[in-house]
Amino acid sequence: MAAIEIRSLRKRFGDVTALRGIDLTVEEGEVFGFLGPNGAGKSTTIDVVLDYLRPTDGSVSVFGHDAQTETKRVHERLGVLPDAYGLTGHLTARQHVQFAIDSKDADDHPLELLDRVGIAEAADRNVEGFSKGMKQRLLLACALAGSPDLLILDEPSTGLDPNGARRMREIVREEAERGATVFFSSHILGQVEAVADRVGILADGEIVAEDHIADLRDAVGDAGGTLVLTLDRAPTESELAAVRGVDGVSGVDVRENAVTVACPAERKAAVVDAIRGEGAVLLDIESRQTSLEDLFATYTDGAEGEVER
């Protein structure tokens, strides 16, 4: 059974159409990265899944339960890190986590959850003095209470320092390993690439891509990326001719001692052999893949800002 099934989901806010009939399936047990530029409709989608917002049209189910009519059953299985803080300044971190534990009828220890997110030493401080990153860590600890079957994390890396962001990724993987499904939105592409099994890309209220990252790479016609070879001197014509002659090479660019070659991944070794065969001495070999950032730009076509109409 799918963890989340979204069908023909539309959402209008007055004359603004935030979602234009999206379909999306998140399978049980996967880590799904939900990507899109500002204003694409990520938070709106999440808010409909959580029944914080009602759709204009379409349906959402979570583990087979309708998100609008079986909200309680859905929420019993969820851990949520919202995009806006729902913290109360005069309560301590421990009290917040205890509240989350109680609301799930769970028996976790607050300190253990706070330790997991790296703020155990601040357990008894009021959250009004917390930094942005500490609040984000606390919200994650609350989301983890009761070992939910589905974690929904809206922009989880907001405000986190590099260590916090790494911890967040580790926790996502740990949760997936115990069998949880993780659905998280982000525009920090490196975060998504490092941790997601599949991604969905939303632009202007429409899903423009939904796939494994490797398959998205293939789909934009770049199965291999590029190879940058650094020689001990500028390449000779015969060396360049040998590289151009390798099957699959689609482009060769020379900048002083560096030769950049566009070719499929499985032809990279042949390119290295070819240039060495002509007597070149290689000081460095760098293999680059299309990054998720490149893919994102391809699919969203630089889309930015508010949805019109």
Ligand X SMILES: Nc1ncnc2c1ncn2[C@@H]1O[C@H](COP(=O)(O)OP(=O)(O)OP(=O)(O)O)[C@@H](O)[C@H]1O
Nearer to ligand X, 185 or 226 (CB): 185
Q: What is the dihedral of CA 220, 222, 228, 229, to 10 degrees?
A: -170
Nearer to ligand X, 9 or 127 (CB): 9
Tell whether residue 82 is a contact of ligand X (CB under 6 A). Answer: no
Tell whether residue 152 is a contact of ligand X (CB under 6 A). Answer: no
Among 4, 9, 18, 145, binds ligand X (CB under 6 A): 18
Tell whether residue 10 is a contact of ligand X (CB under 6 A). Answer: no
Minimum distance from CB of 60 to ligand X (Å)? 14
Minimum distance from CB of 175 to ligand X (Å)? 22
Residue 248 · residue 267 · CB < 8 Å: yes
Window 156-195: residues binding ligand X (CB under 6 A)? 187
Tell whether residue 36 is a contact of ligand X (CB under 6 A). Answer: yes
User: Of the ranges 10-18, 171-179, 220-228, 296-304, which one interacts with ligand X (CB under 6 A)?
Assistant: 10-18
Q: How many residues contact ligand X, by CB under 6 A?
A: 14
User: Of the ranges 42-50, 71-79, 161-169, 286-294, which one interacts with ligand X (CB under 6 A)?
Assistant: 42-50
Nearer to ligand X, 13 or 112 (CB): 13
User: Of the ranges 40-48, 66-74, 237-245, 255-263, which one interacts with ligand X (CB under 6 A)?
Assistant: 40-48
Nearer to ligand X, 49 or 117 (CB): 49
User: Of the ranges 41-49, 56-64, 219-227, 291-299, which one interacts with ligand X (CB under 6 A)?
Assistant: 41-49
Nearer to ligand X, 18 or 201 (CB): 18
Tell whether residue 55 is a contact of ligand X (CB under 6 A). Answer: no
Minimum distance from CB of 187 to ligand X (Å)? 6
Tell whether residue 22 is a contact of ligand X (CB under 6 A). Answer: no
Tell whether residue 267 is a contact of ligand X (CB under 6 A). Answer: no
Residue 249 · residue 243 · CB < 8 Å: yes
Tell whether residue 94 is a contact of ligand X (CB under 6 A). Answer: no
Tokens representing 288 are 């680059």
Among 3, 6, 43, 168, binds ligand X (CB under 6 A): 43
Q: Counting Cβ atoms within 10 Å, is residue 49 exposed (0-12), middle (13-18) or buried (19+)?
A: buried
Among 26, 42, 137, 216, binds ligand X (CB under 6 A): 42
Q: State in Å, rounded, how far the first CA of the chain is from the last one.
A: 36
Interacting residue ranges for ligand X, rule: CB under 6 A: 13, 16, 18, 36, 38-44, 187, 306-307
